């Protein structure tokens, strides 16, 4: 039978090609052929797994300067239960070589409005993929994917994801302007945020919010937002309070509702123009909810607000103007 099998094998060879046709044969020949086929598959698999997308002209200098960032982190058990969440806005400063510092204002189930600083090293490959290794203030590895958004000058924004021993992270970063102030936020902005409902310090569900934010350009803020939580009737919130924005384009607001409950808001501005103003915004109430999203300029001050501001400015100017006969006009004191 083996002799017959050998006669039934026809081997053809042409340049660069070897073909074996089995016209008939023993089980031993079939097992040998199957083994050779399996081996060839095993050899090919690692080569496919190692394929890396090449090209590109990025490097570590592609990220240089200050970026507005928004980062969300989650701690989840194997059973899918959330045991910890954090949402933060702030800035990331890259030196264009290898050093990075990230300054955040974080909201968690345990506390809201908490400052957090990370620092470490980063690198970017030619294909625009990179990595941040946090080694001070925390210990995390964050993967970067950067993309070009400007032509003259060439600028890049980025996406990130990663983890540490307890949390997984996801976030975004946009080039941040300079020279902000309270007047940078003036008018009405749309707001949309996603996040978590809290019962005490525990996550009890998901919660989202959408609505309008109004800033007077000086220090006063009004928030009209509807909060939607799974299994609950949407709740309309009206919040008022004061806000501040520093020259580094980071800011915060302390707000209250009609019942006197306190809320905190954090800002990280990534577009300071009047028509296209935009920022990452975090909104939280301790032990109740935390959401993070975006605010975008939609229109200027409502007429009533603008009139009130103009009237207020006139009264201030009148009060500052020296009266006739006063010492300021050369009269008697």
| Token reading at 40 | 């060839």
Contact (Cβ atoms closer than 8 angstroms) between residue 251 and residue 265: no
Contact (Cβ atoms closer than 8 angstroms) between residue 63 and residue 44: no
pLDDT at position 163 is 97
pTM: 0.77
In angstroms, the CA 236 to CA 260 distance is 15
Contact (Cβ atoms closer than 8 angstroms) between residue 224 and residue 211: yes
In angstroms, the CA 80 to CA 47 distance is 34
pLDDT at position 14 is 43
pLDDT at position 150 is 85
pLDDT at position 324 is 47
Domains annotated for the chain, with CATH where assigned, are: 2-39 (no CATH), 60-175 (2.40.128.120), 182-310 (2.40.128)
In angstroms, the CA 90 to CA 193 distance is 16
- Give 192: exposed, middle or buried? Use CB within 10 Å, 0-12, 13-18, 19+: middle
Q: What is the pLDDT along the chain (333 residues), one digit of tens a residue?
A: 444 544 444 444 444 444 333 334 444 444 554 554 454 454 444 545 668 898 899 999 999 999 999 999 999 988 888 899 999 999 999 999 999 999 999 999 999 999 999 999 999 999 999 999 999 999 999 999 999 998 888 999 999 999 999 999 999 999 999 999 999 999 999 999 999 999 999 999 999 999 999 999 999 999 999 999 988 999 999 999 999 999 999 999 999 999 999 999 999 999 999 899 999 999 999 999 999 999 999 999 987 655 555 555 555 445 545 544 444 434 333
Distance of CA 252 to the CA centre of its chain: 17
Contact (Cβ atoms closer than 8 angstroms) between residue 213 and residue 221: yes
Contact (Cβ atoms closer than 8 angstroms) between residue 58 and residue 146: yes
Residue the block writes with tokens 């993070």: 292
pLDDT at position 13 is 44
């Amino acid at each position: 039978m083996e002799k017959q099998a050998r006669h039934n094998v026809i081997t053809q060879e042409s340049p660069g090609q070897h073909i074996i046709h089995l016209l008939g044969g023993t089980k031993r020949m079939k097992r040998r052929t199957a083994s050779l086929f399996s081996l060839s598959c095993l050899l090919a698999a690692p080569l496919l797994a190692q394929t890396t997308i090449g090209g590109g002209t990025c490097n570590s200098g592609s990220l240089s300067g200050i970026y507005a960032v928004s980062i969300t982190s989650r701690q989840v058990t194997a059973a899918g239960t959330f045991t910890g969440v954090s949402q933060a806005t702030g800035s990331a400063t890259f030196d264009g070589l290898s050093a990075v510092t990230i300054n955040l204002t974080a909201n968690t189930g345990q506390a809201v409005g908490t400052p957090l600083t990370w620092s470490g090293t980063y690198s970017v490959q030619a294909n625009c993929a990179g990595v941040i290794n946090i080694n001070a203030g925390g210990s995390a590895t964050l993967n970067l994917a950067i993309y070009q958004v400007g032509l003259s000058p060439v600028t890049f924004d980025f996406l990130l994801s990663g983890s540490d021993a307890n949390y997984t992270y996801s976030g975004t970063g946009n080039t941040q302007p300079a020279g902000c102030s309270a007047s940078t936020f003036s008018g009405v902005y749309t707001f949309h945020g996603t996040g978590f409902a809290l019962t005490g310090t525990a996550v009890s569900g998901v919660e989202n919010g959408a609505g309008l934010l109004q800033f007077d350009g000086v220090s006063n803020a009004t928030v009209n937002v509807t909060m939607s939580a799974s299994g609950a009737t949407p709740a309309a919130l009206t919040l008022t309070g004061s806000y501040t924005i520093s020259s580094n384009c980071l800011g915060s607001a302390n707000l209250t509702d009609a019942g006197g409950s306190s809320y905190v808001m954090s800002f990280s501005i990534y577009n300071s123009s009047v028509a296209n103003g935009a920022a990452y915004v975090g909104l939280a109430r301790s032990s109740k909810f935390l959401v993070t999203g975006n605010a975008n300029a939609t229109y200027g001050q409502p007429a009533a607000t603008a009139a009130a501001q103009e009237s207020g400015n006139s009264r201030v100017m009148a009060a500052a103007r020296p009266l006739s006969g006063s010492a300021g006009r050369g009269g008697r004191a």
